[in-house]
Amino acid sequence: MTLITKTGAADDRFTRFDTLEDALATDEPVLIPLAFAPAYVEQRPGAEFGISVPGSAAIEDVAPHLETAALVAVEFPSFADGRGFSLARKIVREGFAGTLRASGPLIADQFLDALACGFTEVELPETMANRQPAQQWLSAKETMSDHYQSGYGTEPSILQKRLAARKGASV
């Protein structure tokens, strides 16, 4: 797996575990399926952990864990399955301020959208990362400097920039 952030390839501090038993056996930060979260928190209170949720998950199931989890990995079964983008928006809306990861065979061309929806990093299978190394992701991020939709990304939208420009001009 390759981890890509806004600044390029990064190391993954979290280790994935498929069983609760294995997750509990390490002191390192773990990434575990959502279903294990209650038991993990009970047995390792205060430990840093992440949860893995499918893009199809209901926000009602994810929300109870957003205060304790440091990382949420939204799993994309395919790059063309856009449910994860909406789930990311809902997670951010719940006030989640931790690391929000898009995990799956995304393509570099989706990096801008992923960031605008609130993801902070992308975790790629190796086969994808080989064809589309981090440099392509960083370039793709720079292709469009503006967006029309208010409420997405950290920059104001084109609509908001126009308004600001007019207000500035009229002062």
Partner 1 sequence: MYRYDEFDERFVRERVAQFRGQVERRVDGSLSEDEFKPLRLKNGLYLQLHAYMLRIAVPYGTLNSRQLRQLARIAETYDKGYGHFTTRQNLQFNWPKLKDVPDILDLLADVEMHCIQTSGNCIRNVTSDQFAGVAKDEVEDPRPTAELLRQWSSLHPEFVWLPRKFKIAVTGAEHDRAAIKVHDIGLKLKRNAAGDVGYEVIVGGGLGRTPMIGKVIREFLPKDELLAYLEAVMRVYNSDGRRDNKYKARVKILVHETGEDEFRALVEAEYAKLDGPTINAPADEVERIAAYFAPPAYDALPETSETLAKARADDAELDRFVAQNGFAHKVPGYIALTVALKEIGAVPGDMSAAQMRAFADIAERYSFDEFRVTHSQNLVLPHVKQDDVPAVYAALKAAGLASANAGLITDIIACPGLDYCALATAKSIPIAQSIAHAFADPARQRAIGPLPIKISGCINACGHHHVGAIGILGLEKGGRENYQITVGGDASEHAALGERLGPGIDAEDVPGAIEAIVDTYLAEKEGEESFIETVRRTGAEPFKAGFATFIESRAATASEAAE
- Residues at the contact surface with partner 1, assessed by CB under 8 A: 56, 79-83, 85-87, 89, 93, 107-110, 112-113, 116-117, 131-132, 136, 139-140, 143-153, 158-163, 166
Residue 18 or 146: the one with the smaller Cβ distance to partner 1 is: 146
What's the min distance (Å) between Cβ of 93 and partner 1? Answer: 7
What's the min distance (Å) between Cβ of 17 and partner 1? Answer: 28
Tell me the CA distances in angstroms from 55 to 35, 101, 117, one per residue in order: 15, 11, 13
What's the min distance (Å) between Cβ of 110 and partner 1? Answer: 8
Residue 19 or 162: the one with the smaller Cβ distance to partner 1 is: 162
Whether 104 contacts 4, CB under 8 Å: no
What's the min distance (Å) between Cβ of 59 and partner 1? Answer: 9
Rounded to whole angstroms, how far apart are CA atoms 85 and 75?
A: 10
Whether the CA torsion 140, 56, 17, 35 is positive or negative: it is positive
Whether 124 contacts 105, CB under 8 Å: yes
Residue 64 or 161: the one with the smaller Cβ distance to partner 1 is: 161
The residue type at 5: T
Q: Which residue has the tokens 């589309």?
A: 132
Residue 21 or 171: the one with the smaller Cβ distance to partner 1 is: 171
Longest Cα–Cα distance of the chain, Å, equals 64
